Amino acid sequence: MAESKWVLIDAKGVSLGRVAGFAANKLMGKDKPDWTPYADNGDFVIVINSAKAKLTGKKTTDKEYHFHSGYPGGLKSYNYQDMVKKDPAYPILQAVKGMLPKNRLSDALLKKIKVYPDENHPHTAQQPVKIEIAK
CA separation for the pair 8, 85 (Å, rounded)? 23
Residue 1: pLDDT over 90: no
pLDDT in tens, 73-124: 999 999 999 999 999 999 999 999 999 999 999 999 999 999 999 999 999 9
pTM of the model: 0.92
Mind listing the domains of the chain with CATH numbers?
Answer: 6-54+86-131 (3.90.1180.10)
Neighbours of 109 (CB within 10 A): 22
User: Which SS3 state, helix, strand or coil, does residue 19 take?
Assistant: helix
Task: Enumerate the β-bridge partners of residue 115.
Answer: 47
